[in-house]
């Protein structure tokens, strides 16, 4: 799976990038058809925002979350996109 990380208004640390890659493995576990993921990390005054867009075969999954730190935002966004991927996977399995 190809992962593109874009940071706006700051330079991400190596630890943050590694955390993004590790958390995205969770999505791949539920749907092996995901081709690429784009992660946009935005830092504003008091808000740190994470947006994840995953592209699969005929499906796009989008999750967006903001909070006071990137770790919390990333975990919640991953949970949101995991729910979407599981739901789509369940639809395919049932039919």
For residue 54, what are its two tokens?
């995953």
pLDDT tens figures, 30-81: 888 899 999 999 999 899 999 999 998 888 999 999 999 999 999 999 999 9
Sheet containing 60-67, strands listed edge to edge, beginning at the edge strand earlier in sequence: 2-8, 34-43, 48-56, 60-67
The pTM of this model reads 0.91
28/69 Cα distance (integer angstroms): 24
- The CATH superfamily holding the domain 2-78 is Ribosome hibernation promotion factor-like (3.30.160.100)
pLDDT tens figures, 4-30: 999 999 999 999 999 999 999 988 888
Q: pLDDT-based confidence at 93, cuts 50/70/90?
A: confident
Q: What are phi and psi of 32, to 5 degrees?
A: -80, -5
The residue extents of the domains of the chain are 2-78
* pLDDT at residue number 27: 87
């Amino acid at each position: 799976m190809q992962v593109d990380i874009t940071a706006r208004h700051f330079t991400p640390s190596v630890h943050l990038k590694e955390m993004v890659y590790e958390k995205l493995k969770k999505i791949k576990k539920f749907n092996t058809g995901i081709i690429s993921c784009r992660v946009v990390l935005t830092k504003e005054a008091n808000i740190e925002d994470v947006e994840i867009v995953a592209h699969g075969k005929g499906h796009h999954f989008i999750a967006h979350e903001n909070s006071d730190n990137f770790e919390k935002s990333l975990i919640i966004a991953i949970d949101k996109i995991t729910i979407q991927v599981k739901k789509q996977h369940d639809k395919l399995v049932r039919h």
